[in-house]
A and B are shown apart, each in its own frame.
Chain A
Amino acid sequence: QRCLSLIKSTKFLNAYITVAEETALKQAEESEKRYKRGQPLGVLDGIPIAVKDNFNTAGIETTCASNMLKGYISPYNATVVQKLLDQGAVLLGKTNLDEFAMGSGSTDGVFGPVRNPWSYSRQYKEKSVPKSHSEDKDSNWVITGGSSGGSAAAVSSFTCFAALGSDTGGSTRNPAAHCGVVGLKPTYGLISRHGLIPLVNSMDVPGILTRCVDDAAVVLGSLAGHDPKDSTTIQDNFKPFELSDLTDVSKLSIGIPKEYHAPGLSSEILALWSKAADLFKNAGAKVIEVSLPHTRYSIVCYHVLCTAEVASNMARFDGLEYGHRSDMNKSTESMYAATRREGFNDVVRGRILSGNYFLLKQNYENYFIKAQKVRRLIANDFVKVFGSGVDILLTPTTLSDAIPYMEFIKEDNRTRSAQDDILTQAANMAGLPAINVPTALSERGLPVGLQFIGRSFQEKQLLTVAKWFEKQVKFPMIQLDEVKRHDHGVFQHQKSASFLEHRT
């Protein structure tokens, strides 16, 4: 209930598209009953969660922040949603995103942009320079990053304890960094994509957003494993793990890829990155510079492969079976054309056109095949580095802290995506697990995170290292008035959710 009222008071963040108040309360009630009987369904029983609005939820609207699916009520739950519900989790609602997950700001959905909760934090307000008296004090709010901005904001503002995002080029880690929360991108094939409305089938993964690394491990444990409904999940048995407290990092080898010193990287973040490396070094770990030479090609490679798959995946939206259907009915073709023009925003339409261009017979070899080859090279870069004895890579997650919305929209979606994805994109190309850990506040009082990239299916090692790092940096808690008001001493002392103690 606290979460629900907090959602209401933070409505200005626009983090939620749909709040499922009634069902959530009912779920919470059931959960209470189970606890009273001493029979909780699992570790997540009663824990309030939010789900990005590109996951299918039965009976609750799934829109992908698009006119194409406004009002669409799916008849089935995505596998990951079902798993959470089976554990007794309480589904608070669906969170906001860039339309069809295309974007890096969570600004391009039909329900409007998501505001970063840190825009209203004392930390940011203290550091921000007031422009003039007449200016609306709201106008310099900063973006959440994207495309899972709603989920990141929901977790960051304490309206839920964990949220599902999706990650195709960095869409979970990017907003996690800007909102000061943990954002985990699991290995491709570890978690089922059944029910996740796809952007790029060969790169998408469900992402996990939480306030601490331990929580991420718990959620991962509930979600990972083979799903017969998703043929790209691995068949091996997955065993949920508990994170041990790492005390000795001397056996670790941390790689610092030099190409991640990308153009446009703020000096602040560069310094933080360096500090983090020193942290490991001083604790006895082996810290070495490594090279991933094909990093600089990943953005163009991603552009070709992503738009091609988008063009293909969006072909099903014709207004015939579900979703928006135009009133134009002169012919099937004209109905299709009008439906798609009305239903999709410019970003989606742009990517479809590009993708179809690359897939044309005369272009296929030069673009699509070439991009696939480059993708293999990028993936091989990682294989070589991990093969040479490096355990974990340490890189920045974003080029800078969150920028104000008014500045962000000065450039178009494509430009922004290309800029912002540079540090996160390659992990999707290679299918590797990666995690953003909130590290420190920038000079402007906004969160900055650092990224760890691990070996395929070695989430345990990745999270163990991340947890150690988290403990060292002691990232501060957000000081939000709204949160304070709803908090009866509970949130203050627990940055994390000990799942067993907190229920709605």
Chain B
Amino acid sequence: LCLWGHPYLNSIFLLFFFFFSLTPWVPVVGLEIHAQISSNSKLFSGSQVQFAAPPNSLVSFFDASLPGTLPVLNRRCVEAAVMTGLALNCSINKKSLFDRKHYFYADLPAGYQITQQRVPIAVNGSLSYSLCIDNKMSQMVTKTVRIKQIQLEQDSGKSLHDDVRSQTLVDLNRAGVGLMEVVMEPDMCCGEEAAAAVRELQLILQTLGSSQAVMAEGQLRVDANVSVHHPGEPYGVRTEVKNINSIRFLAKAVDYEIERQIEELESGGTILNETRAFDSKLGCTVPMRDKEGKQDYRFMPEPNLPPLILYNARSLPANMNHQQVVNIDWIHERLPDLPSVKRAKLVEQYGILPEHSFTLLNEAGLTEFFEDVIKQTQMKPKKVIGWILNDLLSYLKQHSLTVKESPVSSFLLADLLNRLEKKEISSTAAKQVFAELWKGEGKTPLEIVKEKKLQLIQDQEDLERICQAVIDGQENEVMAIKSGNRKVLNKLIGLVQRETQGRSNPVLVKQLLEKKLSE
């Protein structure tokens, strides 16, 4: 049973529920995720796959369902599905089948979608994802969701309803693009878990390259199945929430739906097995237009596609043309490091914290940037990571830039950090230099340091002289310090700093003052 999975909040929520309800509710969340396959051409035809092309410019005869056209399976799509299945610990079905799923809609030219209903390409996998407790990155817990199956299927076209002119505009560019439908079992219990699971899946797909998985471009679409029940009782009626186009909205939609269902049931109502849409402006789920009630899709085997046979090293016949077959083992050998492996390696190699590795992987290009800086600096990774996550990343977020668009290159940052390491400048000064670098005016750290006179005084004698001068000029304070009031020392340090225009190393100044005062 998942009672929100947070050890601390558990008790609080139980109290909450006892207060306001007789028995606690167990929310159950499953997901159906459609990921557009990253390929040059569509699943069954040779027309191109491209986002935001002029309407109906990427439509082959087959996509338009011209009579007499036949599907021809795209090898790259099969490989993408196998890769994804392997990355999700699935069993790859060496024989899978294609079926037709029939319904009438303007964006479905053939009147049916080719999918894999009877025997999909991959089954029975799992996905591990991490959640942070209390919204603090410091405590992370790992969860697993079972993957029921992955199936290959066609995407539909797009239809735009123009109610003003009473017309529907149909764009078939997307019709026939390859999709992997990933079905996650209802092992999740809240919006946060759903969001984290999808985020991890997104990273995996992007690492594999099997899908670019950009939700904003419709390459990753999530439908959530939500229900609630009392512990020990059978699962409740579930609703399906569609039209969720960001991970943030996914969490909101799921949580809203859970709450809605609980409220409905507690006030004596019932939950309808319906499809709902998420209205992001209102932050709630609303019933979708009831299209045709319960649909009977009249599934039928796709007669124009023979069963899809995959091979591994053992089953591959000797004289088979390698161009003609997909070899599961061959693909397995070439899988890149998955995010979980990459994170573990980062932690091990650089001694950074696990939550740091999550942030690094979460931002496109950030890991590479981090590693580039490491290569070019003597500063320890444990210190570099602070600059990457606290300074670089926060600036990027503030200005809504990607790592690629950063005005500060890894070279410049490394240069800056080196000077800090060599104690040429103080850490406060370094932050100032960073801010200057951010302006992207092409100046180097050295130039900025010189320009703003930020270099730390390196001459010890010089510093001693100044310290002595300050001591000499502050008799009262010196007496106070000598009689035990250590805090006054800070004032002296401040005075030295002022005297040196901030160019003295406060640690060194403190040491010198203390030495002199104890003489």
> CA separation between A211 and B317, bound complex, in Å?
44
* Residue numbers in B under 8 Å from A309 (CB-CB): 300, 303
- Contact with B109, one of A193, A230, A321, A336 (Cβ below 8 angstroms): A321
Binding stretch for chain A, among B32-40, B69-77, B139-147, B396-404: B69-77
* Residue numbers in B under 8 Å from A64 (CB-CB): 67
Contact between chains at A232 and B306 (CB < 8 Å): yes
- Contact with A194, one of B69, B112, B168 (Cβ below 8 angstroms): B69
Binding stretch for chain B, among A243-251, A291-299, A312-320: A312-320
CB of A195 within 8 A of chain B? yes
A197/B67 contact (C-beta < 8 A), A312-B300, A316-B111, A364-B299 known: yes
Interface hits, A174-206 → B, CB 8 Å: 193-198, 200-202
> CA separation between A368 and B300, bound complex, in Å?
9
Binary interface encoding of chain A residues 97-108 relative to chain B, with 1 for a CB under 8 A from any of its CBs, else 0: 000000000000
* Residue numbers in B under 8 Å from A361 (CB-CB): 296, 298-299
> CA separation between A359 and B67, bound complex, in Å?
22
Query: Closest residue to B59 on the A side, CB-wise?
Result: A321
Interface hits, B149-206 → A, CB 8 Å: 166, 168, 170
Interface hub of A76, A197, A321 (most chain B Cβ within 10 A): A321
A360/B298 contact (C-beta < 8 A), A75-B61, A76-B61, A315-B111 known: yes
> CA separation between A329 and B168, bound complex, in Å?
11
CB of B238 within 8 A of chain A? no
Interface hits, A342-382 → B, CB 8 Å: 356, 359-361, 364, 368
Query: Closest residue to A322 on the B side, CB-wise?
Result: B66
> CA separation between A321 and B108, bound complex, in Å?
11
* Residue numbers in B under 8 Å from A201 (CB-CB): 303-304
Contact between chains at B298 and A356 (CB < 8 Å): yes
The interface residues of chain B, by DSSP majority, are classed as loop
* Residue numbers in B under 8 Å from A69 (CB-CB): 67
* Residue numbers in A under 8 Å from B298 (CB-CB): 311-312, 356, 359-361, 364
CB of B276 within 8 A of chain A? no
Interface hits, B435-457 → A, CB 8 Å: none
Interface hits, A35-58 → B, CB 8 Å: 55-56
What is the size, in residues, of chain A's interface with B at 8 Å between Cβ atoms? Answer: 45
> CA separation between A309 and B112, bound complex, in Å?
12
* Residue numbers in A under 8 Å from B110 (CB-CB): 315-316
A316/B67 contact (C-beta < 8 A), A231-B306, A321-B109 known: yes
Contact between chains at B104 and A333 (CB < 8 Å): yes
Contact between chains at B68 and A74 (CB < 8 Å): yes
Nearest 5 pairs of A and B residues by beta carbon? A315-B111, A359-B298, A201-B303, A202-B303, A316-B65
Give chain A's interface residues, CB within 8 Å of chain B: 55-56, 62, 64, 69, 74-76, 78, 193-198, 200-202, 228-232, 308-309, 311-312, 314-318, 320-322, 329, 332-333, 336, 356, 359-361, 364, 368
**Sample (16) of A-B pairs whose CB atoms are under 8 Å apart:** A74-B68, A75-B61, A194-B69, A195-B68, A197-B67, A198-B68, A201-B303, A231-B72, A231-B73, A232-B306, A320-B109, A320-B170, A322-B64, A329-B166, A359-B298, A361-B296
Give chain B's interface residues, CB within 8 Å of chain A: 61, 64-73, 100, 102, 104-106, 109-112, 166, 168, 170, 296, 298-300, 303-306
